[in-house]
Structure 1
Amino acid sequence: MTQAGVHPGSGARTADEQTPLAIGIDIGGTKVAGGLVDDTGAVSRRARRDTPHRSTKPLVVEDMIVSVVDELLELADRPVGAIGIGAAGFVAADRATVVFAPHLSWRHEPLRDALAKRIDLPVFVDNDANAACWAEWRFGSVQGESHVLMVNLGTGIGGAVLLNGRIERGRFGIAGEFGHMQVMPGGHRCECGNRGCWEQYASGNALVREARSLIQAGSPLAHDLAATVGSDPQSLSGPMITEAARAGDPTAAELLAEIGTWLGVGLANLANAFDPGAFVIGGGVSAAGDLLLEPARDAFRRHLAGRGYRPEARIVAAGLGNEAGFIGAADLARSEESRV
């Protein structure tokens, strides 16, 4: 198990040694990751389990969460006060139930109560993008910004809204599901049940799908990518495409630019609805940096209503990387626990 350093943005903060640690857990479509987090957002220990398949039964994922928590509790060098769970799915207003998870088999899953029976600490559940947004506002790349929208590009697209220091969860707890805005009527089928959702065009899944289709079609444009995976296009991953783009593969760079363009179009729509001061882009695909974000910024400017006559929101990469989800879940749990 590796021991972490501090994250960007934590240098000006000093941890209170008397404040209990919190454990944050980030549950995505492919993994359960967690960390021990202090009150500055710094991570001292990490643990991870890979989910074997998106159709995995809820009890299996629950077992993985408990396993990660147990490992981190054994590694803690001081008391742990609370457990925060960031779940990739629609979390009800009760902050206890995962109503629907497009990339997991959770349907009205009473996650908080199930875990509370197995973990002898206060457990708090929230949407993973809400948790990541909170972390970026508290410790990351949008500190001090009053109006923030988080867009997480991973297996799908998660989102969150933060206004004046408060996560806005909506009447039923499901605000921020930007990935399921319909941008292409009759388009690609989405796992949520609809067609043409934004995440079918601007996510990690979309990136890999388009690259694999080129390889399977025998396109000469995909020669280098095909050589990377040999006879198994299904082994191609988003990080492999990003690495190829950085190494100068023009097709890989073009694929990322296409994802970035779709990202910018969606952000322009969100700007018209929310008028934020900043968009923070997280998730695994954001590791592509400006290969993704520059096309997104260009498309954003082209599609923004009233362009040239209104202030434009900043579009910035998440400063905490893939750890934002569990850092934010831990900090939210600490905040909630202190009010109980």
Structure 2
Amino acid sequence: MTRRLAPLTVGIDVGGTNIRASVVDAEGDVLDSVQAPTPHSARALEDALARSVRELSTRHHIAAVGLAVAGLISADQSTVRFSPHLPWQDTPVAARLSSRLALPVILEHDANAAAWAEYRFGAASGARNAVLVAIGTGIGGALLIDGKLYRGSNGVAPELGHLQVVPDGRACACGKRGCWERYCSGTALADTAIEMLATDPVRSVLARDVIRDPGSLTGRRVAGAAQDGDPLATRVIADFARWLGLGLGFVSDLFDPDLIVIAGGVSSSAPLFLDEAREHYAASVTGAGHRPLARLRTTQLGEAAGMIGAAELARSVAVTHVATGNGR
């Protein structure tokens, strides 16, 4: 089957706040999209997902569906074992949706889906061994070895965000303390600003806003203030860059990739921190000065990467489905 004739598929980013579904062609181009709020019950969420696919199916012939999910996915990519922000636990989501839609459905961890999209169409194209570090509310990680996604024995590797970098450090939603994502994420930017103000007050617009309403502080607000040269925000970004560089050193020690892609919402602020993070990375990796370093790149596909990757993974399922005589 030529790429020109390859089937259209739907990729869905199933987030804690919104679900975004897109029709994607074999070139990785998004042709059509719909979005809806994420319901809080499993039945309502599955209803919303089915509605999204059916709406897109009125305008396009869809061959399969891929879901990018922030959670633990079974090794056969059929079941959501656990997701901290979604109402699924040990739920056979693929079978349920496939039955309702009469289409093949596949699940993938959202970071894996994004990494696959970047490998097929974006920043990781041509890489032999690559790691994607998705930095947003937390940290998601994905590993490509010789062009294949590595999921581990049970489908949950690699959980980079929960590497412990500070024993007895900040509490993490995973139940541990001192996880990397607690010092290097959008959430961490706000927490670091509050901690810095508590130990070393500084005069700045951001500091005034934090004192007035600590709950209003977000990572995006910190990044914006740093862009404007705010003294507190600048210190916070420097701390973030240090933790990012140290973490990338751990990642290189573990996997020795030739490329690391920085993705996620925080990646849009990369000009503020990436050069400094690269310096910390170069100094902290084992054998510093005596080994090649991984190239650092930022995402090319942005927030659409998870949807594009899930759709591309679903395409291979669709082709197999047709080849085995199970297509409609």
Global fold match (TM > 0.5): yes
**Structure 1 residue 141: Cα displacement:** 0.9
What is the match of residue 37 of structure 1?
24
SS at match of 2:101: coil
SS of residue in 1 equivalent to 2:235: helix
Task: Verify the 8 A CA contact 1:29 1:155 in the aligned structure 2.
Answer: no
Tell me whether 1:85 sits opposite 2:72 in the alignment: no
Q: Does 1:143 align with 2:130?
A: no
Partner of 2:325: none
Matches within 5 A, 1:86-125: 86-125=68-107
Indicate yes or no: 2:36 matched with 1:72.
no
Task: Using structure 1 for the length normalisation, give the TM-score.
Answer: 0.86
The alignment partner of 1:280 has SS state of strand
What is the CA–CA distance in structure 2 between the aligned matches of 1:162 and 1:96, rounded to whole Å?
21
Q: CA deviation at 1:214?
A: 5.7
Q: Structure 1's 222 and 15: CA in aligned 2 closer, same or farther, altered over 3 A?
A: farther
Q: Which moved more, 1:264-273 or 1:99-108?
A: 99-108
Please name the residue that 1:315 is paired with.
Answer: 296
Q: Does structure 1 conserve the Cα–Cα contact (< 8 Å) formed by 2:169 and 2:177?
A: yes
Q: Does 1:296 align with 2:277?
A: yes
In the TM superposition, what is the alpha-carbon distance from 1:123 to its structure 2 partner?
A: 0.7
1:242 equivalent among 223, 228, 252:
223
Would you say the 8 A contact 1:22–1:36 is kept in 2?
yes
- Give, in angstroms, the shift of residue 219 of structure 1: 7.2
SS in 2 for 1:118: helix
Report if aligned partners of 1:85, 1:126 keep a CA contact under 8 Å in 2: yes
1:7-62 alpha-carbon deviations (Å, 9 max, x no partner): xxxxxxx972x33211111123333222111111111222223447xxx3333433
Cα distance between partner residues in 2 of 1:212 and 1:38 = 45
Paired residue for 1:131? Answer: 113
CA deviation profile, 1:195-231 (whole Å, cap 9, x unmatched) = 111111111121122335567x597537422566895
Structure 2 unaligned blocks of 5 or more: 322-328
Amino acid at match of 1:117: S
Instruction: Quote the Cα distance in structure 1 between the aligned partners of 2:115 and 2:270.
Output: 18
Cα shift at 1:132? 0.3
Contact in 2 for aligned 1:133/1:328 (Cα 8 Å): yes
Give yes or no for contact 1:184–1:195 (8 Å, CA) kept in 2: yes
Question: Is contact 1:212–1:234 with CA below 8 Å preserved after alignment?
Answer: no
1:200 corresponds in structure 2 to 182
Report SS of the residue matched to 1:102.
coil
Separation in 2 of the partners of 1:33 and 1:229? 32
Counterpart amino acid of residue 47 in structure 1: V
Distance 1:29 1:250, change over 3 A: farther
Equivalent pairs: percent with the same residue?
43
CA–CA separation in structure 2 for the residues paired with 1:285 and 1:211 = 16
Candidates 43, 47, 61, aligned match of 1:59: 43
TM value normalised by structure 2:
0.89
Give runs of aligned pairs for residues 259-270 of structure 1, distance below 5 A. Answer: 259-270=240-251
Q: 2: CA distance between counterparts of 1:213 and 1:64?
A: 40
Gaps of 5+ in 1: 1-13
User: Is contact 1:242–1:288 with CA below 8 Å preserved after alignment?
Assistant: yes
Q: What is the identity, as a one-letter code, of the residue corresponding to 2:277?
A: A
Aligned to 1:152: 134
1:167 is aligned, of 149, 171, 183, to 149
RMSD: 2.4
Counterparts in 2 of 1:71 and 1:204: CA distance versus 1, 3 Å: farther
CA contact (8 A) 2:186 2:220 kept: no
Show CA shifts across 1:141-177 (max 9, x none). 1211110011101121111111112111111111111
Q: Which amino acid in the other structure matches residue 19 of structure 1?
A: A
* Amino acid paired to 2:219: G
Instruction: Find the structure with the greater CA-based Rg.
Output: 2
